[in-house]
Amino acid sequence: MSRNASFESLRGLLDEVDRRYSMARDGYEFDFRTEIEPFLEENKGLVNQIGSIHTDFRFNPVTREKVVEEFMELLMACHEKRFGMKLYKEKYKFVNMWLAHAGREGLFR
């Protein structure tokens, strides 16, 4: 894994996902071999680390796993213009909400 999971690194990754989705929606076509594959390889380990951060009564293991699943889907789908805006926004909001909660509650240790 290239980085340890922290609020800042995960928040930065979510910002990068949003930037890439905006580029795709504007018509940019990402090259799989040179842009998508390296991005996924670099970041999927970081996202998987969400499963090992501390929990509280709200951010329980089931919720953590769902956040990982949704974030992983965003990592892949952000490169595709056809990924629906409504679904993207729902997934983005879900991941963002739980990252903010974990950051606020000091669960990244």
pLDDT (0 to 100) of residue 19: 98
Distance CA(41)–CA(55), nearest Å, equals 26
Mean pLDDT on 18-28? 98
The Cα-based distances of 55 to 98, 104, 105 in angstroms read 11, 12, 9
Q: Apex CA 96: angle with CA 86 and CA 46, to 5°?
A: 115
Q: Apex CA 70: angle with CA 15 and CA 80, to 5°?
A: 65
Q: In which residue are the tokens 């789908």 written?
A: 77
Distance CA(21)–CA(23), nearest Å, equals 5
Average predicted confidence (pLDDT) for the chain = 94
Total-model pTM? 0.92
For 47-82, what is each residue's pLDDT tens digit?
999 998 988 999 999 999 999 999 999 999 999 999
Q: Report all structural domains of the chain as residue ranges with CATH numbers, in order of start.
A: 7-104 (1.20.120.440)
